[in-house]
Amino acid sequence: MNRMVLFFLIIGFAGVVHADEFNVAQAKWGASATASSIYGQGYAADNAVDGKWSARETDKWNSAAGDGPHWLCVDLGTERVVHKIVIRHEGVLAEGEKYNTAAFRLQKGESDQGPWVDLIEPVRGNKSNITTHVFDPVKTRFVRLFIQKAEQKGNTYGRVFEIEVYSSTKDITEYMLSMSFPERKFRRQNGDFLVKAECEVVRPASAQEFATVKLRSNGKDLGHLSVNTGAATDIYVPAKAAPCEVQLVGVYESGTEEVLASQKINPPVPTYFDNGGTIHVVSSSHQDIAWMDSPQFCREWRDENNMTPALEMMQKDEDYRFTVESMMYLMDELEDHPERRELVHKLTKNGQLEWGATYTQPYESSISGEQMIRGMYLGRKWFRKTFPDCDAVVAWNPDVPGRSMQMPQIMHKAGIKYLMFSRHEKGLYEWLSPDGTGVIAFSPGHYGDDHFKIFTADSKTAISRINQQLTEDGEYFDKRNIDPEYCLLNSVDFSEPTDFSQIMQMFNDQAADRFETNGDESIAAKMKYSGATEFFEKVTKNNPDLKVITGERPNVWLYIHGPAHHKALSAGRAAGRVLPAAEMFSTIECLLDGDFEDYPEQEFFDAWKAACFPDHGWGGNKGKITDALFKEKLEYARDKGQAILDRTTRKIASHVKTDETRGKPLVVFNSLSWKRSDIVKTKIDGLAEDIRIVDADGKSVPHQMLPCDEYGKSEIMFAAEDVPSLGYSTYYIAVGKEEFATDAVASEGTFENAFYKGQLSSGGIKNIYDKELGRDVLQSEKFLAGEVFTMQSVGNGAGEFTEVQQPTMEGFDKSSNHGSKWTLIEAESGPVQTVYESEQKFSHCTVRQRIIFYNPVKRIDFEVSLLGWDGTKSREFRMALPVDMKDGKVAYEVPMGVLEVGKDEIEGAAGGHGGGGYYTQVCKDVRPREVQNFITANDQNFGVTMSSSVAVCDWVDPTDDPGDYPILQPILLASRKSCHWLGPWYLQEGDHHYRFSVLSHEAGWENGYRFGIAANTPLHVVAAKPRPNANLPEEKSFFAVSAPNVQVSTIKKCDDDDSVVVRLYDIEGKDSNMTLNTFFEIAGAEHTNIIEEEGTPVPAAGKMFESRIGDHAIETFKFLPE
């Protein structure tokens, strides 16, 4: 035969297809493509030679954004004679017309680098979806589409689905072979899988005659072709993952063989899940408290569009499952629909309805450790008390790109086994806290991936994409020895319960149909509805080899809370400190009274509920309503905690036997677990110049009066020394003035006391010399200590960005630019403190700075006020503390721990994507950071610790030509915008006030953290009014911990009985044998989980309890008073 014959070898089909021309620019014929750029994964240049144009996400080349030039180059694999090119532009799919390539050139080249010669006249003004270009036949290997205008109205993105290059059949000079696997049809033979192949052969016009033509791979014949009819036997190829070569072999009458063509193939294999696997469709709906609309609207929407239809679907279909992410929504459901309580309980008990185990989904490191723990109380603990025969063991927080390093331990010790999260590399993980406890965590990449890629597509496309995912992810499951249990998460903001039975049935039918041998249907993967718990339990059943993650994933969205909501976050941070203190002293007061009858249990429940209320949904649509509600909740929690603390400490003070002949008694309370010396302030009525402060031994202590306030009250401040841990000391306001000698020397530009010698300059402190350390502390060439500076701050608090959006130099200004002088405030200066003040008029506010040197204690306070801030958009204010260290290491407090930068973050980058790109930044390089009470810099010579009144701090110079030394920088305020297109700007107009305390100390953050915590936890003073039978001594520690690294997180009445709960944690990263001394006889003790359940008896004797607290461990104990 002297004419070309095109064979299609397909089971059930035999025939010869004749054609005058065919497209040689296809990957199956060896063609490939390169491009000027690509938009991202899924938009590769090779998509333009794959023969497909049905899906934008998988079938087209899309360039990255830019003005070009954009180009697409096709390598045909060998020189061919070509005469026509067809381009399928964006418009081949609906609504793509406006992105059709408007102006371009078609060129041939001697290599993929050119030189390039035009094949046709340049095309201009094109609007067509498909363009066909015919030219005189030319021989070439490389063809280029050079784009001069990529879109109808712009040149931002090049977009092409296919570029087809045609050769005439008469110009084909060699056999061409292509094998593909469109059916993915398998059979099992001798225990091995084979896959059905579709074979396509092009025979050149000058081909010789053969007795037979056959296919061969690895020396084994696969099937014969009839050269006369084009018919073929069934072609099955071994289904092995490794690439192999298939040869087209011609056999002459003599038996001599000739290899006519060959192709490298990657045969499909049964997925890892075609081994009795299950595809778990976990249906949920990602829900912020608000963000999509106001909190009340979203609550009503959840009721009408989530809960009501989900309950209806579950009643109609026993197989349907639905998961609600947070326990708050169950509280809402039972409050809004008490009549549905029995139904909700029933569906929850039988596993159809599932609830996330935490109260809300917060920014974890923006709240205190106790706030994180109380989220478990309001989650799993409340749930088990509400439905005692049900449980919740999966926590959900899929939206926030940040994880606090102690949260896995908190979850684990709350009985929560699993975590659904996202915006992280897809996979299953064992996420541990530094103590070695944690949870099994699953990330789908982004929580909306499966929804948008699969569940919004038509059934055929959805199943194709599911199979693609199963194939891609099977290797990961196999490598990690993970059972074939696969999760498809259907969740997106405001998604509704959906019936997927049609997709499931079609998938299951096709999965079974893939296997031809009788009985093999049983091994095909099956798709079903599941709850998250079922998925986790099955996928972890046989102890897979999961990747272990340890440490903090710094939050990328941190600008949204502290900098963008300063006053609200300040209230929340205060609540996180004052509520545990109120609990401690309320518990002590009840123990002193002999019962818990007056313990304010409901008040604490309401306050903690309010303190834990705000989730990550600040701003958003109608965000001013949401933000106001969040602020109201946090202020309520703070104020309620303060009111309880005031009330209960006054009651305790009334138990103290004081001697009023010595003066008016003041009782100073210490809520921290170590003995403290610090400055105390308290209001007194009227002017009182001829007074002094004496301690319980009658010794006068340094004190001074401050000016009267607007209500005629004076404030007295004094130095309280060695106030016992978790206890109090008594002082007296005595008659008789006493002058205190002080070695403080102050002028308008210099200051010196027993601890520091300082030089002030316009804008801040230029030099601080530490007398104890014998060294200078500051590096003030660029910034002064306490200096305020402002930068442009373009960005969102949260959003689909993958790195924190950094400030820029536009509009940069700093205090020292204004030449303002410092004024010594003599009315506020004295034996206790020396105060300086300065004001500068910035463009959009007045900056007031105050520097306070304390004389009885080693401490410098920097107070900053932004007065009359006008709310200009995209501005940011920071304060600088530049430290004279070349190799300084930075650390800061996180909830229930300290993080050392570069050491305690999770390893590498988080991976996964945020909608707008991939999280490729190494986590140790993420900045700024969420800080609890302090941030500190240390080298081998000394350390500097700064307490922070704000939630976010940096340490790297953000300006041009940055310094190579640490600059500790609290971020005071940032006027950024919500990422919701209808959301508000976070402008925060008005006055803002801040305070930062600084201590230089011996090297090591361990030498400064107590200062940093204490500076934000002032000693609490009340005027004592002793009751008649008062019998407490003038000084007492109610609880004391022997190990200095072990902190008391809270002391409270047990939720379930009249025991006393004490929570302890190690902050320094060391194992310790510790003794807890109490002021009451212990009748019995238990070691419980973190939510006061599952108690195990432990020994205790008298008023003493001994235990080992492990490295970074958080432990909870319950004590029954005698």
Report the CATH number of the 176-265 domain.
2.60.40
| DSSP secondary structure letter of residue 231 | -
Give whole-number Cα distances, 354 to 283, 443, 536, 873, 902, in Å. Answer: 10, 18, 13, 43, 38
Task: Assign 362 a pLDDT band (cuts: 50, 70, 90).
Answer: very high
Residue 3, pLDDT > 50, answer: no
| pLDDT tens, position by position, 290-307 | 999 999 999 999 999 999
Task: Assign 688 a pLDDT band (cuts: 50, 70, 90).
Answer: low
Task: Assign 1048 a pLDDT band (cuts: 50, 70, 90).
Answer: very high
| pLDDT (0 to 100) of residue 177 | 87
| pLDDT (0 to 100) of residue 898 | 99
Does 763 or 18 have the greater pLDDT score? 763
Rounded Cα distance, 870 and 973, in Å: 12
Pairing mode of beta strands 897-900, 929-930: unpaired
Rounded Cα distance, 405 and 419, in Å: 14
Task: Assign 380 a pLDDT band (cuts: 50, 70, 90).
Answer: very high
CA dihedral 588, 593, 597, 599 (to 10 degrees): -20
Report the CATH number of the 1039-1121 domain.
2.60.40.1180
Average pLDDT, stretch 618-629? 97
Average pLDDT, stretch 936-954? 98
Residue 231, pLDDT > 50, answer: no
| pLDDT (0 to 100) of residue 686 | 61
Tokens 């010794």 -> residue: 699
Rounded Cα distance, 196 and 181, in Å: 7
Domain boundaries, the chain: 31-171, 176-265, 1039-1121
| DSSP secondary structure letter of residue 15 | -
| pLDDT (0 to 100) of residue 77 | 92
Residue 16, pLDDT > 50, answer: no
Task: Assign 182 a pLDDT band (cuts: 50, 70, 90).
Answer: confident
| pLDDT (0 to 100) of residue 229 | 42
CA angle 1092, 1096, 1099 (to 5 degrees): 115
Residue 10, pLDDT > 50, answer: no
| pLDDT (0 to 100) of residue 274 | 85
CATH architecture for residues 31-171 = Sandwich (2.60)
> At a CB cut-off of 8 Å and minimum separation 6, what does 724 contact?
670, 675, 1035, 1036, 1037, 1040
Rounded Cα distance, 985 and 872, in Å: 10
461 C-beta neighbours (distance < 10 Å), count: 16
| pLDDT (0 to 100) of residue 4 | 31
| DSSP secondary structure letter of residue 499 | -
Positive or negative torsion for Cα 1006, 1011, 1014, 1019: positive
CA angle 359, 360, 366 (to 5 degrees): 120
Least confident of 405-419, 454-468, 625-639: 454-468
Does 596 or 512 have the greater pLDDT score? 596
| pLDDT (0 to 100) of residue 518 | 59
Rounded Cα distance, 7 and 235, in Å: 13
- The torsion angles phi and psi of 469, rounded to 5 degrees, stand at -65, -45
Task: Assign 18 a pLDDT band (cuts: 50, 70, 90).
Answer: very low
| pLDDT (0 to 100) of residue 234 | 66
Task: Assign 233 a pLDDT band (cuts: 50, 70, 90).
Answer: low
Residue 20, pLDDT > 90, answer: no
Average pLDDT, the chain: 93
- Sheet containing 703-706: give its strands across: 676-685, 713-723, 703-706
Average pLDDT, stretch 600-629? 98
366, 558 Cβ separation under 8 angstroms:
yes
Give the highest mean pLDDT range of 68-72, 467-471, 1006-1010: 1006-1010
| pLDDT (0 to 100) of residue 777 | 98
Rounded Cα distance, 535 and 278, in Å: 9
Average pLDDT, stretch 99-106? 96
Average pLDDT, stretch 353-370? 98
Give whole-number Cα distances, 1108 to 366, 659, 1041, 1043, 1072, in Å. Answer: 29, 41, 12, 10, 6
Least confident of 176-190, 308-322, 527-541, 985-999: 176-190
| DSSP secondary structure letter of residue 183 | S
Residue 753, pLDDT > 60, answer: yes
Please tell me the pTM assigned to this model.
0.84
285 C-beta neighbours (distance < 10 Å), count: 25
Residue 323, pLDDT > 80, answer: yes
682, 1058 Cβ separation under 8 angstroms:
no
| pLDDT tens, position by position, 828-871 | 999 999 999 999 999 999 999 999 999 999 999 999 999 999 99
* Adjacent-strand bridge partners of 24: none
Give whole-number Cα distances, 18 to 48, 170, 201, 202, 220, in Å. Answer: 25, 12, 12, 10, 30
| pLDDT (0 to 100) of residue 190 | 78
| pLDDT (0 to 100) of residue 944 | 99
Task: Assign 194 a pLDDT band (cuts: 50, 70, 90).
Answer: confident
Distance of CA 1018 to the CA centre of its chain: 32
891, 936 Cβ separation under 8 angstroms:
yes
Does 511 or 651 have the greater pLDDT score? 651
User: Does this chain's domain 31-171 share its CATH topology with 176-265?
Assistant: no
Tokens 């810099």 -> residue: 937
Average pLDDT, stretch 255-270? 89
| pLDDT (0 to 100) of residue 14 | 29
| pLDDT (0 to 100) of residue 572 | 98
Percent of all residues in the chain with a pLDDT value above 70, rounded to a whole number: 97
> At a CB cut-off of 8 Å and minimum separation 6, what does 655 contact?
592, 1026, 1027, 1030, 1031, 1032
What token pair was written down for 1033?
Answer: 């001594």
Tokens 């139904």 -> residue: 343
Task: Assign 519 a pLDDT band (cuts: 50, 70, 90).
Answer: low
- The torsion angles phi and psi of 306, rounded to 5 degrees, stand at -115, -70
